[in-house]
Amino acid sequence: MWWTSALSYVLLFLLIFGISGTVDLTSFRSRLSDFRSILVGVGCQFVFLPLLGFAVVKLLDLPALYGLVLLVTVSSPGGSYSNWWCALCNADLALSVAMTTISTIASVGLLPLNMLVYVQATYGRSVEIAWLNIGISILVVISAIFSGLYMGLKAPGQRQRLNTLGNLCGVALIVMGLAFNSSSPVPLWDHTPLFYVAVALPCILGMLLSFCMSIALGINKPSAVAITIEVF
The DSSP line for 14-33 is HHHHHHHTTS-HHHHHHHHT
Q: What is the pLDDT of residue 230?
A: 84
Asked if 36 and 217 touch (Cβ cutoff 8 Å), the reply is yes
Question: What gap in Å lies between CA 130 and CA 221, rounded to an integer?
Answer: 37
| Residue 198: how many other CB atoms lie within 10 Å | 21
Question: What gap in Å lies between CA 136 and CA 146, rounded to an integer?
Answer: 16
Q: What amino acid occupies position 138?
A: I
Q: What b/e sequence results for 141-160 when a residue is b if at least 16 CB atoms lie within 10 Å of its CB, and e otherwise? A: beebbbebbebbeeeeeebe
Asked if 57 and 75 touch (Cβ cutoff 8 Å), the reply is no
Q: What is the pLDDT of residue 182?
A: 54
Nearest to 58 by CA among 122, 127, 124, 113: 122
Question: What gap in Å lies between CA 49 and CA 203, rounded to an integer?
Answer: 8
Q: Burial, 209: exposed, middle or buried (Cβ in 10 Å; 0-12, 13-18, 19+)?
A: middle
Question: What gap in Å lies between CA 187 and CA 4, rounded to an integer?
Answer: 17
Question: What gap in Å lies between CA 53 and CA 138, rounded to an integer?
Answer: 23
Question: What gap in Å lies between CA 168 and CA 174, rounded to an integer?
Answer: 10
Question: Which residues of 102-155 form beta strands (DSSP E)?
Answer: none
| Residue 30: how many other CB atoms lie within 10 Å | 13
Tens place of pLDDT per residue across the chain (232 aa) = 667 778 888 888 998 899 898 998 889 999 888 889 999 988 999 999 999 999 998 888 888 878 888 888 888 887 667 887 887 788 888 998 898 888 888 888 888 898 888 888 888 877 777 778 888 888 898 999 999 999 998 998 888 899 899 888 888 888 887 776 555 555 666 667 777 888 888 888 888 999 999 999 999 998 999 999 888 7
Nearest to 31 by CA among 15, 47, 42, 18: 42
